[in-house]
Chains A and B, each alone.
Chain A
């Protein structure tokens, strides 16, 4: 190593003044950027976007133009969910401001964008490449923390839990004050659950609450801990679920075919259409005889009819599969779920196997079995109720069987499963008419975690459940045909 030495620490300095020379243009741009951020904090994104665009376009040579583009990219990714606009803003940063601090953050957004497209190995590989660039190209940038945390997230989707925990650990150890550290604690919690260490996971999740109490991560941690506490602590000493006094939906509701939760609002489908506990939050699907109700990857409500899927915000989707002659249209759709990349898995009563569709085009059979209800988790594993086989079947994202759970097993009996759902951790909930069984895929294969047999001799139990949905904290919203209402169990 060569060191250049110089006499005296008092390095000679010359030239012009300081501070007072901030160019007017720079000041204007900076003020407009702050104005935009202020609007964004208030939720006035239209005005925020105007400010950000003005800085990026009119003051493109100032030091904050890249920051404005970053704000635009964040808005389109996190608020508007517009992948095209997000990519455009990211491209501008990486092209025009390739050496700026924002470029590092732009790579993080590009990686998140890849994950938003789906959780396929291709998507994950693309995302990891983007995240990896941040530390390699900008080792001292603040964005490194976020990129490491998102790397952990991507590895979690890839089920490489050891790698994920190492990445999350680095964030919490090396960037303990960063916003990414809060997310990393949540990621650690989720990963520890996957590693079969739920009690420790709860402690990690609580860290996010202790240190960043006002953060989104803290809110998520509360939901997760509530869920984990119910399944791993409460269930050990008593019933995991108890009827609450919460009301969801009208006092009397008949012939409910499906329930869905979007945000904090409960939606239901009946034989006559789709209803909501709180109206106006989302456009309800126009369905005549819906057989079920789901939320797609964009957050849109989708009603399942015999002949088609009817999203609230987009055109109906009908499906057909190639036959010996003309394609044969689905006419008895029983269930459908959407994978993270937008593909649909649809089960039709006339077929002994579900099919996968890219849009309306068939991508072939997906798994096997005549399934009546479907559920999908965050890693695109699909579960279905196979009444013929009297089992719950689980497939991976390609349709390969992962597990088969009989209706009756050690510690549980669900002779009449009506509905299935995954929670945020991938626990599988099976709703029977009179009980709920919860299975965990961790640490290696699906096993019973807890079984709740609803009391039949008092009003706290359900007698004939037919549909349910889970909220973010694992709260169960179920429809009981006997009670003719939606009951909330926590």
Chain B
């Protein structure tokens, strides 16, 4: 070894020492580095051996073997064996026969079945074989049934057929284990140059159950307890191999085995276990699918299943067995169907979209999820409004929003605590923001009442500053029924046919008695005191009959033939052409959900229509805005409304409403002027079946 090679060997050895001497195991990269260093050192020794530099080679192999046999380290057996061989041969060449024999003995201790290669000196071979004869014997090992067998902690292959292999002489310990069998540990002694038979039998004590499923991934439930999931069987197990799961140490006796998997029909069978291996037939889990067709007339609607988009409506869906929420979401509302689907069901869902109000706020001493679910369930049949529990992801999207504590809180019944109310513009903007974020028409809050069965629902449409508040007694079906009726009721007609004439009932006088004539009634020649006894071929016994008959008339066929009795008793026939007149909803009516009406009227006001229909839509939109605290919006809507003077909903109505807007926005002079105009409209009404405007305007002017 020249100086250079020696230096290199020392460096490698130093490196190895630093890596191996410490007790803690090296990390993988360090181990890889160490392995490379061992190889380098071995190559160094081998090169010296090949160059016949046996002294130098022995030094290097000493270094290598010392390093590899440090206590606690796992040597690289192959390298160690080669190192021992080459050091032995180097020592033999140097005349150190005893040293060589020691190395051969150490080599066989590591690998008892080692054989020297060809081309080696017969003297060396003889020395090796001499050592072998005194250190190596054979064992004939038989294990019934085959199991996991280890000798001196090292795994060996063993089964029912005797296997013969070399072992160093001396005491050895055999352990054997197999699922369902009692573990076994046994010592035996190997004598040099002899074959020692070792035969053991493992005792069966419990069953081992191999569960096979198709498809794989089935959850395995044994006696009601989930024990695992079948894993994909090896590729060579065949096309229908599916998944496998092994249950060891299954106690003898009957067991219930259930396999279940999402979207599949569960299968179950009873296993009668004995202390033996049990292999189930492949348990096939049939797909559990319902076929659902979703139909809707709503344009631009999309279908969602459990919150996951499934494309545009209409759609045909395959729905897994179990409870699922199918939704149709559109710009005007939503449809939701939450039910437990059964395999094989074929259902068509006709999705009528309702204005969607997710419950985003829950207040009070109650479980929030339970309260949401209870309210959703109770209000599910409501036709116009959909109150629902938003998906967790939807709620999550609102998590970071900051809202006033009192937002959407029901007002106190006694009107107190007014100072803590949330300003209208804050309420409006939050409602808009939340609705836009969730892609819905409004939001809802639910407040548990002082009694566990009292619940208050607040509904806020996007753009509204004041929620509708509905209190429900959940223990009283009549109460929930009333709430449902309220939420399900449509907006009353805002344009209706009319004779523009006033009628009354008079006892003893069958028919509708004229007390004021106007508009189309006057054109038809009606006079005060006339009695209408027939309209459109139907007898008229009362005003109710006449109203009902008139209500059936619709454009374009607005003619209505009438039979009239005059005050003198003379009968005559006239033909009236009904007018389509605007009507309005009351500004405060507990039978109307104004936040819902806002959505309808916004749509109606933007739709092209007849002048009367457009005026009616805008007038009603203004009223709803006023009711919801949107005074500026109301004023804007009213500006476009032009109605003639006269009875019923007319210019006086518009004037009164304009006065209210001006009053609410602090424009007292405008209010005064508008109320003065309204007070002069003696026959104008707030709505056609409603109160006269003039007394209300006079009260505003302080005249009453």
**Interchain CB contact under 8 A, B411 and A234:** no
**Measured between C-beta atoms, what is the minimum distance from B12 to chain A in Å?**
64
**Measured between C-beta atoms, what is the minimum distance from B111 to chain A in Å?**
69
**Interchain CB contact under 8 A, A3 and B399:** no
Q: B366-388: which have CB < 8 Å to A?
A: 366-368, 370-371, 374
Which residue on chain B has the smallest CB distance to residue A474? B507
**Interchain CB contact under 8 A, B398 and A9:** yes
Binding stretch for chain A, among B150-158, B233-241, B414-422: B414-422
Q: A71-107: which have CB < 8 Å to B?
A: 99, 101
Cβ-based interface call for B491 (8 A): no
Which residue on chain A has the smallest CB distance to residue B404? A3
Q: Is the interface of B mostly helix, strand, loop or mixed?
A: loop
User: How many contacting A-B pairs (Cβ < 8 A)?
Assistant: 220
**Interchain CB contact under 8 A, A18 and B474:** yes
Q: B528-549: which have CB < 8 Å to A?
A: 528-529, 543-544, 547
User: In the assembly, what is the distance between CA of A18 and CA of B366, in Å?
Assistant: 6
Which residue on chain A has the smallest CB distance to residue B566? A237
Cβ-based interface call for A27 (8 A): yes
Residue of A18, A209, A244 near B543 (CB, 8 A) is A209
Most buried by B among A26, A140, A213: A140
Which residue on chain A has the smallest CB distance to residue B682? A200
**Interchain CB contact under 8 A, A225 and B370:** no
**Interchain CB contact under 8 A, B367 and A16:** yes
Interface residues, chain A, with chain B CB atoms under 8 Å away: 1-19, 21-22, 26-27, 30, 63, 99, 101, 137-141, 162-163, 165-166, 169-170, 172-178, 188, 199-200, 202-207, 209-211, 213, 222-223, 225-226, 229, 233-234, 236-238, 244, 473, 490
User: In the assembly, what is the distance between CA of A101 and CA of B412, in Å?
Assistant: 12
**Interchain CB contact under 8 A, A203 and B586:** no
- CB contact under 8 A between A1 and B365, given known A10-B398, A30-B476, A199-B515: no
User: Which residues in B have their C-beta under 8 angstroms from that of A26?
Assistant: 451, 475
Cβ-based interface call for B311 (8 A): no
Residue of B362, B402, B414, B528 near A13 (CB, 8 A) is B362
User: Which residues in A have their C-beta under 8 angstroms from that of B395?
Assistant: 10
Binding stretch for chain A, among B71-79, B632-640, B684-692: B684-692
**Measured between C-beta atoms, what is the minimum distance from A372 to chain B in Å?**
32
**Interchain CB contact under 8 A, B400 and A7:** yes
Most buried by A among B363, B364, B404, B507: B507
**Interchain CB contact under 8 A, B414 and A17:** no
**Interchain CB contact under 8 A, A11 and B415:** no
User: Which residues in B have their C-beta under 8 angstroms from that of A12?
Assistant: 368
User: Which residues in A have their C-beta under 8 angstroms from that of B401?
Assistant: 7-9
Q: A3-B406, A14-B365 are in contact. List 4 more A-B contacts (CB 8 A).
A: A3-B422, A11-B361, A200-B692, A226-B508
Cβ-based interface call for B70 (8 A): no
- CB contact under 8 A between A210 and B543, given known A30-B475, A173-B696, A203-B502: yes
Interface residues, chain B, with chain A CB atoms under 8 Å away: 360-368, 370-371, 374, 395, 398-407, 411-415, 419-423, 426, 434, 445, 448, 451-453, 455, 474-476, 502-508, 513, 515-516, 528-529, 543-544, 547, 567-568, 586-591, 682-683, 686, 689-692, 695-696, 698-699, 703-704
Which residue on chain A has the smallest CB distance to residue B527? A237
User: In the assembly, what is the distance between CA of A315 and CA of B529, in Å?
Assistant: 49
User: Which residues in B have their C-beta under 8 angstroms from that of A137?
Assistant: 414
**Interchain CB contact under 8 A, A174 and B588:** yes
**Measured between C-beta atoms, what is the minimum distance from A390 to chain B in Å?**
35
**Interchain CB contact under 8 A, A176 and B588:** yes
User: Which residues in B have their C-beta under 8 angstroms from that of A238?
Assistant: 567-568
Which residue on chain A has the smallest CB distance to residue B503? A206
**Interchain CB contact under 8 A, B402 and A6:** yes
- CB contact under 8 A between A203 and B515, given known A9-B403, A173-B690: yes
- CB contact under 8 A between A9 and B434, given known A2-B420, A19-B453: yes
**Interchain CB contact under 8 A, A27 and B414:** no
- CB contact under 8 A between A5 and B515, given known A166-B695, A176-B586, A206-B543: no
**Measured between C-beta atoms, what is the minimum distance from B102 to chain A in Å?**
78
**Interchain CB contact under 8 A, A15 and B692:** no
User: Which residues in B have their C-beta under 8 angstroms from that of A3?
Assistant: 404-406, 420, 422-423, 426
